[in-house]
Amino acid sequence: MSFQIALNFEDGITRFVECRPDETVAEASYKARINIPLDCRDGACGTCKSRCESGSYDGGDYIDEALTDDEAEQGYCLPCQMTPHSDLVLRIPSSSAAAKTSAATFGATLAGIRHHSPSTVEFTLDADERDGLDFLPGQYVNIAVPGTGQSRSYSMSSGPTQRQLSFLVRTVPGGAMSGYLTERARPGDRLEFTGPMGSFYLRQLARPMLLLAGGTGLAPLLSMLERMAQQPVGHPVRLLYGVTGDQDLVHLDTLADYAEVIPSFTFEHCVADAASSARNKGFVTGLIDSSTLHDGDVDIYLCGPPAMVDAVRGHITSLGVIPASFHYERFTPAAVHETAEAA
């Protein structure tokens, strides 16, 4: 028996290692040829200090100079001493290059394309080495756009255990991936991607959650919901989904399906276009009130274009609420991701 340890590096690259319950995370990483920061390997220096974002473990033996009780309380840990009791997600305080590792590259075959509307395309990939590809729900990969020499970043909308990888793309005039998907792409095309990457991923389900999606920013949240559908969810999960026009709305049926499977999950959508037939017109900020924020006892995950991310952050601040955690990812029309956290 072994557990899966996700090592998320400062540059967003994530590697996964298998770790037995009787070995330390550092030993498992070393066996996988990943050199996480280490010095004493004895719980004395603190060089390996990392943050555990999900999972349970035995912290092992160490001295206060290496890790204080306060730090341990906050989730910091020492990989040279810790042994897992479950799958873990660790944030490692170094770049992947410093750890002598890098993002993995995968070949894939284009399995399908679905044109939801003139603004939104979905495509699916069959990865060649699917069993060797692990990712955390919410993460993205960099996909080389065939025939262009360019690559674009897209979050998986599929869950980590689903065989096919799915992506949502907002089409933009002149866009590299937009042009490929709308003009040239055919099932059976060969593609290449690297990853997984990003620190916008689902953490431990510790309190009520508020998921906020703008347009195709719904993709990583669908991946998170897919994960939640496979485990008990003991807290309310609310998703607010905003788009510009009716044609941008996708996967409302999928969200309804998740509401059937995850009893504590509810969702609402809104459309900015005043001519929309949607019940809620305007922006997601109009749907955020004190009840959705649980007086701050809430983990917020927000993915959307920069203007939406800034508007939501400003709105929540104006309500005087400080959420327990706030994870957000902005994407630009060129599908460049910027992931951050605000507490």
Query: What residues make contact with ligand FES under the rule CB under 6 A?
Result: 38-41, 43-48, 66, 78, 80
C-beta of 91 vs 203, nearer to ligand FES: 91
CB of 129 to ligand FES, least distance (A): 32
Q: Are 92 and 37 in contact (CB under 8 A)?
A: yes
Q: How far is the CB of 335 from ligand FES (least distance, A)?
A: 38
Task: Give 80 or 243: the residue with its C-beta nearer to ligand FES.
Answer: 80
Nearer to ligand FES, 28 or 191 (CB): 28
Q: Which is nearer to ligand FES, 80 or 249 (CB)?
A: 80
- Residue 243 backbone phi and psi in degrees, to 5: -135, 170
CB of 61 or CB of 297, closer to ligand FES: 61
Name the residue nearer to ligand FES (CB basis): 95 or 162: 95
Inter-residue contact 8 to 14 (CB < 8 Å): yes
- Tell the smallest beta-carbon distance from residue 92 to ligand FES (Å): 12
- The minimum distance between CB 28 and ligand FES, in angstroms, equals 14
Report in angstroms how near the CB of residue 79 gets to ligand FES at its nearest.
Answer: 7
Task: Specify the residue, 93 or 282, whose C-beta has the smaller distance to ligand FES.
Answer: 93
Provide the β-strand partners of residue 17: 5
Least separation in angstroms between CB 99 and ligand FES: 14
* Between 30 and 286, CB nearer to ligand FES: 30
CB of 48 to ligand FES, least distance (A): 3
Residues in the chain: 343
Q: Least distance to ligand FES from the beta carbon of 78, Å?
A: 5
42 burial (CB, 10 Å; 0-12 / 13-18 / 19+) is middle
Cβ neighbours, 10 Å, residue 240: 24
